[in-house]
Amino acid sequence: MQPVGKYLVFLGLILVGVGLLFWLAGNRFNWFGHLPGDIRIEKPNFKFYAPLTSMLLISILFSFIMWLVRRFF
């Protein structure tokens, strides 16, 4: 169970780092969530939002980070 604990701590540190980045950057990440490919439908009494491109970007970034971790640790 020790490797799972290490991964959870590492994931927590990454999450804290990303949170600090968004907090300190302020409004510099306004583009995130408004990328081409993010679906937004707004009608009276109905809102639908599917951030497909944004989630794909996060997935690619997370996969790259995990590849780096496995490669060097």
Q: Is residue 37 within 8 Å of residue 49, measured between CB atoms?
A: no
Same domain, 55 and 39: yes
Same domain, 39 and 14: no
Three-state DSSP at 38 gives coil
Same domain, 38 and 63: yes
> Mean pLDDT in each 10-residue stretch from start to end of the chain (73 residues)?
82 90 84 89 95 93 89 81
Same domain, 48 and 60: yes
- Tokens of residue 55, six digits: 């989630």
Q: Is residue 38 within 8 Å of residue 52, measured between CB atoms?
A: yes
Same domain, 20 and 35: no
Same domain, 45 and 72: yes
Range of the domain at 19: 1-27
What pLDDT score does 1 carry?
Answer: 60
In a 13 Å sphere around the CA of 27, the CA atoms on its Cβ side amount to 0
Residue among 6, 5, 25 at smallest CA distance from 17: 25
Same domain, 21 and 36: no
Number of domains in the chain: 2
